[in-house]
Amino acid sequence: MQTLIWNNLTEVEKQQALARPTISTSDELKSAVQNIIDFVRLQGDQALFELTERFDKIMLDSLEVTPQQIANACELVPEDLKLAIQNAKRNIQVFHEAQKLPIIDVETQQGVRCEVLTRPINQVGLYIPGGSAPLFSTVLMLAVPAKIAGCKKIVLCTPPPIANEILYTANLCGIETIYCVGGAQAIAAMALGTETIDKVDKIFGPGNAFVTEAKRQVSQLANGATIDMPAGPSEVLVLADEFADADFVASDLLSQAEHGADSQVILVTTSENLVKQVLQSVEKQLAQLARAETARQALSHSRIFIAENLQQCIEISNQYAPEHLVVQVENARDLLPLLDNAGSIFLGDYSPESMGDYASGTNHVLPTYSYSKTYSSLGLADFSKRMTVQELTPQGFMDLAKTVERMATAEQLDAHKQAVSIRLAKMTKQAIQPIAK
């Protein structure tokens, strides 16, 4: 990891030092994904069978996973892992249940009632990556809030061969519709629909460059689907003072670096001595990692910044806007009001990022690539939509009528004014009309 003294850098050098690894969205990748989407649109299920054989080297008899296959997979998951997944699910459920919005029903002025109604998104698709590290924890992060929100149709797509842990976790969360399809073709199938896979309204979940590009493309189609958030490589920033434990800091950096070669980890500290200890600990811990080579590649484009004081550390962190922010300083909670941009914050020595990734209760689907400046961590609200309601009594209408007429006139929207004026005229006429004998 390159070590830089923040105050020795020019403004341009600071920007360059905080830059993420470039996300490669080449014309070739865009074109390949577009071809996959078009193939699925035209050929439906047949395209999914052919693409699965081409990319995953597996010939499928059926796209949908049967109840018996799910039951068989559940039997093969070790009991201690089942208990761990159940415990994580409980915590995630408690935290997301607490996110239910209160009823909003107010009278903005007498006779003018305004409400907010929250309704679940009807049909959602959950994408779970497979490969060398099947992310069954992501099933919890997506399925639990979808269930709590009350989404009527929840489908899950994941590439074959599906890990037993993914099927067990989906079953635990009550997900009944699971399809054995991955990659850009799974995103296309959920966005457009096929003979077997129903079209969904919104797609959630991480994936590789093809999945990410497919989500981007389908979100721009008139008949496509919305997506959870824009995505980039995973990242962490550790903010540490001279009292931080070097082994803890090193472990947090490496836990993110092992995600992928394009991940980025940042250490911001006031202590040069800590930097030396952390670098030594990183080397020692790397020797014990199965994914050491992946972590080393991530470390090669990662950074250490030595800041003048904690205030400068905070400024660097807010400018970088990390996906994960680990705060290992004395009285870490005192910094919380000053931290503006982060997907998820981990306070203190005993709050490693791993806790949030798996089981503390917060969601691990987070904005990356500085999107935490404007996007939030995934939560219950993402599986819902809000509708506003207004209801005016005759008196409330009359009291507000002149305000609306004047504003509509100023904007030269005559029909808007007439919608009020016509009602006023009828109300006035009815009020003075003589009573029939």
Pick the closest to residue 259 from 230, 291, 237 (CA basis).
Answer: 291
- C-alpha–C-alpha distance, residues 63 and 66, integer Å: 9
Quick one: tokens of 425? Answer: 């005229």
3-state secondary structure of 366: coil
**Is 411 within any annotated ligand binding site?**
yes
Distance CA 135, CA 137 (A): 5
Bond preceding residue 367 cis, omega within 30 of 0: no
Please state, in angstroms and rounded to a whole number, the distance separating the CA atoms of residues 330 and 348: 8
Q: How far is CA 217 from CA 186, 193, 245, in A?
A: 13, 15, 44
Helix (H, G, I), strand (E, B) or coil at 130: coil
Is the CB of residue 170 less than 8 Å from the CB of residue 135? no
Kindly calculate the radius of gyration of the chain based on its CA atoms and give it in whole angstroms. Answer: 27
Q: Quick check: is 323 catalytic?
A: yes
What beta strand segments (E) does 255-300 contain?
264-269
- Locate tokens 């761990």: which residue? 84
Q: Is 50 an annotated catalytic residue?
A: no
259 appears as a binding residue in the annotation: yes
| 223 carries a ligand binding annotation | no
Yes or no: say if 365 and 204 are a contact pair by the CB < 8 Å rule.
yes
The annotation status of 364 as a binding-site residue, yes or no, is no
The verdict on whether residue 288 carries a ligand-binding annotation is: no
Q: Which of 96, 235, 324, 364 is catalytic?
A: 324
Residue 87 assigned ligand-binding role: no
CA dist 177 and 198 (Å) reads 10
Candidate list 96, 323, 353, 364, residue with the active-site label: 323
Between CA 87 and CA 403 the distance in angstroms is 56
CB-neighbour burial class of residue 3 (10 A; exposed 0-12, middle 13-18, buried 19+): middle
Residue numbering of the annotated binding site for Zn(2+) = 256, 259, 357, 416
Residue numbering of the annotated binding site for substrate = 234, 256, 259, 324, 357, 411, 416
Catalytic residue set: 323-324
Residue numbering of the annotated binding site for NAD(+) = 127, 185, 208
Residue numbering of the annotated binding site = 127, 185, 208, 234, 256, 259, 324, 357, 411, 416
